[in-house]
Chain A
Amino acid sequence: MRNETALGLAEARGPWARVLRFVLYTALFMVFAGPLLALMVGAFTPTVDPTQFTLWPDRLSLDNLERAVDRNVLDYLLNSFLVVGGGLALQVLVSVFAGYALARKRFRGSAVVLVLVLATMMLPEEVLAVPLSVLLADLPLLHVSLVGSLVGMIVPVAAWGFSILVMTEFMKEIPKELEESARLDGAGEFRVFWQVVLPLCRPALGVIGIFGFTMIWDQYMLPLLVATDPAQYTLPLALRSLRSDDQVGIGVLLVGAFLAMLPSVLAFLALQRSFIRGLTSGAVKG
């Protein structure tokens, strides 16, 4: 079992190696999780100003939480869930459809489509902010305005190049014979897609599910462009307006930030394997 890792720290024996590992792991834990843990602690303790931001509280209190509810934090959280729910459902659907065509069909123009999908990954909302702000208010041809409604935060994230590429890569691996035998049994195009190919894609669905969730939850520019009124704020967008409160100081901010952190962290911990598979798949390198 020696020579398993490059550094050899994990398999080193002896008391010194043990101490070294303990100190190292604790230090890394503090550096990377410390600020996030302090956020959780601060949400439930009297933390009026940043000098009281600590991991070791004197006493617990729910004042921050009560005040946060008064300041509509739960409404912002609900908006976030609506956007991520609607956006993710559409995104998964659009990705499996597009992936099916790109992976299972040979047609003229497929190479061009692939290049277009890759090109979209160069054009995130941050880069396109200025023209998007004009277009979202008046979509060409349709003449619909997406500004001032959650729909405007949902529809634009429904197509995401990364998810499409992950689905395409994965669907290529499914053996052609399964599809052919289903066709011989008389299954139509949509049945082949829905009942033969899609059920075999469950691992890839996990990957695009968790990536899509964190991607949509992390959206900042799009809600910033679309929201015209605090009633449409998502929780990450609302944080800026919660920075101070006349009663509990930064307490409201800490509760809001804690609630904005929790769903994506829980989703990651639950679907960690899928997440890491996606991270190291070819599509990220695209």
Chain B
Amino acid sequence: MAVTEARAASRKTQARRPAPTAPPLRSRLRRGATPWLFLAPALLLFLYFKFIPMAEAVRMSFQEVRPFLGNTYVGGENYAEIAGSSDFGAAVWHTVVLAVATTAGSILLGLALALLLEGQTRSLWFVRSVVFLPVVTAMAVVAEVWRVMYYPAEGGALNSVLGVLGLGPSEFLNSPDSSLASIAFVGIWRGAPYDMMIFLAGLAGVDRVLYEASAVDGASRWRRIWHVTLPGLRPVFAILLTLAAIRGLRVFTEVFLLTNGGPDGSTEVLLTLTYKLGLERNELGVAAAGTVLLFLVLLVLTVASRLRRREVR
């Protein structure tokens, strides 16, 4: 009896409930599900092609991976093997050198380009577009063009230019002494115009009143750049530095195509090494350990840069 009474009572309260303040459960559920329905494709794709692979890398890094035979747990052996190998140490060093050289070169050249090409004239607009072309060209194309440009004999395109200047001929990619620098140069050639565009956006945001004030004070052009323009660009520097450092650490395509780590291992970087370990020598567990280590470094850098940016704000 009590149950039916309660039911009747609840039916009554339901009927009495004013519709606009509390919509029926079904439509509330539907509204709650709506954002997730819109997000589902992205989340599923990320799960399959980003997060599961990452988890799989962590799992594989603790195993000896043997296709068809089943994997066996080996603890930290893969980490010990990769961290202890001289190849890995060399690859870390090459990666860091390449990242630092490319980042610094791109930022300095990008800033110079931005200062030289700032302005509203039609010819400037044209030159800026042309200078930007390497950025939109696929890296594989860039690498193949530079392989041809770097032809190490006297008649090679770049060696001809050096010859006019009374230099060379250089071996470029063919000699362990110049191979890493040659790759860094290609990175700068493609990275500087990108940085230029970001700097140009920053330059547009510098207060013109400050320029006028410094002109009234009789400051020279260089003093103005040093004391007004560069301080105004400080946030841009911070962004480009972290962005480029993170990108520099995951360099792969240009090294793979220009030298594939050679000659004599002089340009082996982290990702060409893990690619070779994992996909050519089939040491998947060791390669996965290398992947996880790189991932940890990227994670630390990314979090640090985000925290710093929050401070700047």
Which residues 201-231 of B sit at the A interface, judged by CB distance below 8 A? 201, 203, 206, 208, 211-212, 215, 221, 224-225, 228-229
In the complex, the answer to whether B41 meets A5 with C-beta atoms within 8 Å is: no
Measured CA separation A119–B198 after assembly (Å):
23
Residue of B nearest to A142 (CB): B48
B200 → A minimal CB distance (Å): 8
Say yes or no for A29: interface residue by CB 8 A criterion: yes
- Complex CA distance for A54 and B146, rounded to whole angstroms: 13
Contact A128 B145 (CB under 8 A): no
Q: Is B252 an interface residue (CB 8 A)?
A: yes
Residue A6 CB within 8 A of the other chain: yes
Contact with A along B279-303 (1 / 0, CB 8 A): 1000010011011001100110010
From B50, B115, B119, give the contact of A123 (CB < 8 A).
B50
Residue of A5, A51, A225 near B118 (CB, 8 A) is: A5
* A-B pairs under 8 A by CB, number: 284
Q: Chain A residue with minimal CB distance to B240?
A: A285
Query: CB distance A10 to B119 under 8 Å?
Result: yes
Q: A280 to B114, alpha carbons, bound, how many Å?
A: 14
Q: Binding site of A, secondary structure by majority: helix, strand, loop or mixed?
A: helix
Q: Which one of B56, B121, B295 lies within 8 Å of A134 (CB-CB)?
A: B56
Residues of B within 8 A of A237 (CB): 140
Taking CB atoms, residues of chain B closer than 8 Å to A101 are 34-36, 38-39
Contacts A53-B148, A265-B133, A285-B239; is A220 near B49 (CB within 8 Å)?
no
Give the size range of B's interface with the partner: 35 or more
Number of A interface residues in the complex (CB < 8 A):
96
Known interface pairs A32-B132, A102-B39, A131-B53; 11 further A-B residue pairs with C-beta atoms within 8 A, sorted by A's residue number: A3-B208, A32-B130, A35-B149, A50-B156, A98-B41, A123-B53, A128-B57, A129-B278, A155-B49, A221-B253, A240-B140
Q: Which residues of B contact A (CB under 8 A)?
A: 32, 34-36, 38-39, 41-43, 45-46, 48-54, 56-57, 60, 65, 113, 115-121, 123-124, 127, 129-134, 136-141, 144-149, 151, 153-157, 189, 193-194, 197-198, 201, 203, 206, 208, 211-212, 215, 221, 224-225, 228-229, 239, 243, 246, 250, 252-253, 256-257, 271, 274-275, 277-279, 284, 287-288, 290-291, 294-295, 298-299, 302, 309
